[in-house]
Amino acid sequence: MNDIEVRNATVFLGGREILHNISWEVPAGGRYFILGANGAGKTTLVKMLMGYAWPIYGAELNVAGNSYGNGCNLVELRKTIALVSPFLQQYLNMETTVLDVVISAFDGTLDLFRPAREEEEAQAMDILEKLRAGHLAHQKIYTLSSGEQVKVLIARALLTKPRLVIMDEPSVYLDISGREFLLDSIRALGEVRPDLTMLFITQRIEDILPEFDHGMILKNGRVLTSGKREDVLSEKNLSEAFELPIKLIKGANGRLWSIVE
């Protein structure tokens, strides 16, 4: 069974073709990465999966057992998809507390417009503590660093026990230590929730954990290559994707690091 199935998807935004004839699938419980330079179409792909951007007629799009365009309730579907993206920060009410932002996941919003229930607060605090962010619970969002705000969004995403989690460049604002903590959290999440389908989107090769064993490289809105991790993340493919002479170094932990010769 697949949690994501895309067939012949072409997306236009503002009269310009952003994605061209994308076909791709991810099995339930899969660990899949999407890599590409700025402008490759990664964010538009996320918008399409969330139902915020639509492919032209003739495409097929199925997410978490729902076929888009056939009576699919997108509001309910989005409650089963956890989106973790630093770009959500622009929609946060900076006067809201961390705890209320996390609890808002139950309502599918980014702010809480009602009193929180005691059991909701307990669940939110439990996740914040696991992410080493419990001490932030009663602080207002505007007092947090960008990295801390990302941690809050991760806690929010995990609160409703989603079927699919989409991580859209989650480490883009983090320093080295913050990034490594985030990646450790993602690894631990995969161990705790082997049933969870995880999609990791990035422009940084070194951020792709070995656990993400399949993936795809986008270039100019098209699939440059897709398949098993070891086949996709080759020096040839990466050099073509970023238009640079890239060489790879493999660390003892299985992650790949790039240098430009």
pLDDT for the residue numbered 208: 96
Here the tokens at position 27 are 């099995």
Which residues have CB under 8 Å from 112's CB, separation 6+?
A: 96, 100, 101, 103, 104
Q: Which residue has the tokens 């660093």?
A: 145
pLDDT for the residue numbered 84: 83
DSSP string across 116-153? PPHHHHHHHHHHHHHTT-GGGTTSBGGGS-HHHHHHHH
Distance in angstroms between the alpha carbons of the first and the last residue of the chain: 42
Q: Which long-range contacts (CB under 8 A, 24 or more apart) does 70-75 make?
A: 75/108
What's the CA gap between 225 and 66, in Å, rounded? 26
What's the CA gap between 146 and 176, in Å, rounded? 13
pLDDT for the residue numbered 58: 87
Here the tokens at position 118 are 């005691």
What's the CA gap between 207 and 174, in Å, rounded? 12
Confidence of residue 23 (pLDDT cuts 50, 70, 90): very high
Q: For the purposes of burial, counting CB atoms within 10 Å of the CB of 168, is it exposed (0-12), middle (13-18) or buried (19 or more)?
A: buried
Tell me the per-residue pLDDT of 170-182, one tens digit each, with 9 for 90 and over. Answer: 888 778 887 887 8
pLDDT for the residue numbered 127: 87
The model's pTM is 0.85
Tell me the per-residue pLDDT of 65-100, one tens digit each, with 9 for 90 and over. Answer: 888 877 778 877 877 888 887 777 777 777 899 999
The mean pLDDT value for 184-213 works out to: 90
pLDDT for the residue numbered 97: 92
pLDDT exceeding 90 applies to what percent of the chain? Answer: 56
The mean pLDDT value for 27-40 works out to: 95
Closest CA to 8 of 223, 260, 194, 228: 223
